[in-house]
Amino acid sequence: MTIMDRGTTVLIFEAPLDSALYRDALRLREHILRRPLGLAVSREELADDTMRQHFCAVDCGAVVGTVSLRPLDETTLHLKQMAVAEPKRAARIGSRLVAHAERWGASAGFRLMIAHARIGAEGFYLKHGYAQEGGVFFEQTIPHMRVTKRLR
């Protein structure tokens, strides 16, 4: 079986706030993005979640990937909480989540996607047509860079 085939059972779903999918996605992103830094999902982050669109990747009933979109203004979306379960990486699940997020953003009339890429994960965004904007800054205790991409 090729690496591409491994992604074929994975489906992307919207995860409405407080749905079972949302709660599973929240657990996954805490496990991947916060616990290794000695952090938990904060109250502020949960409040911010109410202003975001959430999507998740599901494989055989299990949430294996997550991404959230937060409108910053009428034209710009902030892509956040990009995470794929470790055993499922390198199977293009992250790529499918980004592509889905971009399609959703473009069809909703947004023209620019921005993300705060962790240093070490920036190559993932650069491969998807994002460009670095500005210098390195710290967020959640680790270095990040802002990346942006025009949506069509």
Ligand X SMILES: CC(C)(COP(=O)(O)OP(=O)(O)OC[C@H]1O[C@@H](n2cnc3c(N)ncnc32)[C@H](O)[C@@H]1OP(=O)(O)O)[C@@H](O)C(=O)NCCC(=O)NCCS
How far is 112 from 50, CA to CA, in rounded Å?
Answer: 21
What string of DSSP letters covers 27-47? HHHIIIIIGGGT----HHHHH
Burial of 44 (0-12, 13-18, 19+ CB in 10 A): exposed
* Tokens matching residue 38: 């000695």
Nearer of residues 5 and 74 to ligand X, judged by Cβ:
5
Residues 6+ apart with CB under 8 A from 51: 70, 71
What's the min distance (Å) between Cβ of 43 and ligand X? 21
* Tokens matching residue 51: 């202003």
Number of residues interacting with ligand X: please give it, by CB under 6 A.
19
Binding to ligand X in span 6-45, by CB under 6 A: 32-33
What's the min distance (Å) between Cβ of 109 and ligand X? 25
Please pick, from the candidates 49, 58, 94, 146, the single residue that binds ligand X as defined by CB under 6 A: 94
Rg (CA), the chain: 15
What's the min distance (Å) between Cβ of 68 and ligand X? 11
Site string for ligand X, 97-136 (x = CB under 6 A): --------------------xx-xx-xx--x---------
Question: Using CB under 6 A as the criterion, which residues of the chain lie in contact with ligand X when the complex forms?
Answer: 32-33, 82-84, 89-95, 117-118, 120-121, 123-124, 127
